[in-house]
Structure 1
Amino acid sequence: MTNSTTNEPEPSDSLKTFGLVHKAFRKRAGLTQEEFAPLVRYQPSTVASIEQGRRLPPRVYVERAEEVLDAFGVLRAAAKYATRQPGLASWFRKWADLEEQAISLYTFENRLVPGLLQTEEYSRTLFNERVPVLTDSQIEAQLAARAERQRLLAERPNTVFNFIVEEHVIRRGTGGTQVTRELIDHILTVTELRNVELQLMPMARSVHAGLDGPIRLLETPENEWFGYCEGQRNGQFIADPETISVLHMRYAKLRSQALTPDDSRSLMERTRGAL
């Protein structure tokens, strides 16, 4: 998500604490994770991740769990102190929380393949080349967290995911030919999901609306829109309606300038065949 080494953190003490409290109330209610999950309308894997302290509990999840488990307000109170990791900027914690609740997620990238679409080997290549250098344990933690986050695509079938990616990002060959083949195969598979759409911005288009950099937009269940933009080692969480309006206009223009999803698939298949 960001270029900081803390962007995909290991479990924090506050998340672990929330998970333990949650688990205690669930067991008090005599429910297994599999029995509890449909009651809050989430997958059992999400419940497990939250109880293990590996996932920040979405606000709507906390409210549903509070009601189902009759937790006396304890879960709601504990959630206020649950953060991903000390030192992680507040704007990122807020975005990560909202991302897990979003009903629409729009992403434009001109630097690398968005994290939600990466393969493990593509991600590993990026982390191996990180400056300052990451330790092996840091890399493994980053990979595990990224894989956990990618579950959003499968676990939220009613969420609309739209990605616009520069063609040159796919053609760059990050990690080598085999990694690129696997990456394209993975993207082609993921975009078969009805709620996941990818458009390539062709290299033949010399000018487009995204030249100022990456754009991320999301819509909450309450139909509020937020944005997020990245720099080298910082990020900006955006709630200002005027700025959101500008980003929407730019993203809409990008969608009209990029290839259609079908044409994008055809281009990736041709690229894959030429490797």
Structure 2
Amino acid sequence: MARGKQQDAWVFFGELLKERREAAGLSQEELGRRVFVSGAYIGLFEQGIRKPQKDVARRIDEVLQTGGIFERTWRKLIDKSPYASYFTEVAELEAVATKLCEFAPTVVPGLLQTAEYARAVTIAANPFATDAYVEEKVSARMERAAILQDATRPEYWVILHENAVRTPVGGQTAMAAQLDHIAAMIRQRRVLVTVLPRAAGAHAHMTGTLKLMEFADQPPTAYTETEFSGTLLDDPAVVKQAQRTYDLLRVAALSPEASLALIQSAAEDFRRCASTT
């Protein structure tokens, strides 16, 4: 998969880090110990696979005596990202994941959104935004979704709460098209979608979205997001707990066949409503 300009910039960040680290005569393990991360993480930073948090970039500057170059570069790269600061690294990780598992309680996940749906969501959250701002966000979301069209696309599992299926985001016609898109992706076997029905009642994850990511050459991670913030989770014990939560959601959901039937039925309901208004 071709890298975008943002990813190329992080690769440059990593190459600069390796150059300065070696000039200081430090191994990855030694630098990691001094900035309170593992040597393996330093290696991932140097490859451009992972992005350090701001405080880690600052500590690297202090240890390598760089005059603040890594913190300044970090700020510049984050500012250039079309995503919220807490989501920038997640978007980059999606592109290199071998498997994604996602739970969406209220909104269709970004990787499955149509442009019209994404536009409606963006405007709802930013009612005074300019057209240019809205289209930038929509374009970024469509660019993310392109990974599902790639020959090396990740295995993608999604659990949609029925609320996300039944809410007419963008209007009846737009929502019918959104559900048609999801159904087509299912039939093309690009995603495995199940629906958690409203009748299931209380469920294992009641506080926002949940995303699990697996990789070929690094440990799995989990990501949770609420309305105003998101958290990337690396601790193995926490990731294991998140995986168990996802398993509980999966057993409470409808079968793939019943889920597809519900999605198609909901699309027809929206179309029928649109034709009578």
Q: TM-score normalized by structure 1?
A: 0.69
Which structure is larger by alpha-carbon Rg, 1 or 2?
Answer: 2
Match of 2:66 in 1: none
Match of 2:231 among 228, 236, 246: 236
1:11-160 correspondence to structure 2 within 5 Å: 42=1, 46=2, 50=4, 53=5, 55-57=6-8, 83-86=77-80, 91-131=86-126, 133-160=128-155
Letter in 2 for 1:166: H
- Cα distance in structure 2, aligned partners of 1:182 and 1:56: 32
Q: CA deviation at 1:256?
A: 0.8
Match of 1:211 in 2: 206
Q: The residue matched to 1:128 in structure 2 has which SS?
A: helix
Letter in 2 for 1:121: E
Letter in 1 for 2:130: T
Q: CA deviation at 1:96?
A: 2.0
Letter in 2 for 1:117: L
Match of 2:250 in 1: 255
Consecutive unaligned residues of structure 2, counting only runs of 5 or more, are 15-44, 52-72, 271-277
More helix by share: 2
- Cα distance in structure 2, aligned partners of 1:230 and 1:195: 24
Q: CA deviation at 1:272?
A: 1.9
Q: Is the contact between residue 104 and residue 160 of structure 1 (CA under 8 Å) also seen in structure 2?
A: yes
Match of 1:188 in 2: 183
- Cα distance in structure 1, aligned partners of 2:84 and 2:132: 22
Q: TM-score normalized by structure 2?
A: 0.69
Q: The residue matched to 2:165 in structure 1 has which SS?
A: helix
Q: Is the contact between residue 190 and residue 196 of structure 1 (CA under 8 Å) also seen in structure 2?
A: yes
- Cα distance in structure 2, aligned partners of 1:123 and 1:247: 27
Q: The residue matched to 1:204 in structure 2 has which SS?
A: helix
Deviations 1:225-258 (A, max 9, x none): 1111113322111101111111000001111111
Q: Is the contact between residue 208 and residue 226 of structure 2 (CA under 8 Å) also seen in structure 1?
A: no
Letter in 2 for 1:255: R
Consecutive unaligned residues of structure 1, counting only runs of 5 or more, are 1-41, 64-75
Q: Is the contact between residue 58 and residue 98 of structure 1 (CA under 8 Å) also seen in structure 2?
A: no
Q: Is 2:186 the counterpart of 1:162?
A: no
Q: CA deviation at 1:132?
A: 6.4
- CA shift in 2, pair 1:171/1:160, >3 Å: same
Letter in 2 for 1:181: A
Deviations 1:86-120 (A, max 9, x none): 58776533222211100011110112110011111
Match of 1:174 in 2: 169
Identity of aligned residues (%): 28
- CA shift in 2, pair 1:59/1:138, >3 Å: closer
Q: CA deviation at 1:197?
A: 0.8
Deviations 1:47-78 (A, max 9, x none): 5xx2xx3x524989x99xxxxxxxxxxxx979
Letter in 1 for 2:89: K
Q: Is the contact between residue 220 and residue 239 of structure 2 (CA under 8 Å) also seen in structure 1?
A: yes
Q: Is the contact between residue 58 and residue 101 of structure 1 (CA under 8 Å) also seen in structure 2?
A: no
- CA shift in 2, pair 1:127/1:158, >3 Å: closer
Q: Is the contact between residue 122 and residue 183 of structure 1 (CA under 8 Å) also seen in structure 2?
A: yes
Letter in 2 for 1:135: T
Match of 2:33 in 1: none
Match of 2:196 in 1: 201
- Cα distance in structure 1, aligned partners of 2:8 and 2:193: 28
Deviations 1:24-56 (A, max 9, x none): xxxxxxxxxxxxxxxxxx3xxx35xx2xx3x52
Higher relative contact order (CA 8 A, sep 6+): 1
Q: The residue matched to 2:201 in structure 1 has which SS?
A: coil
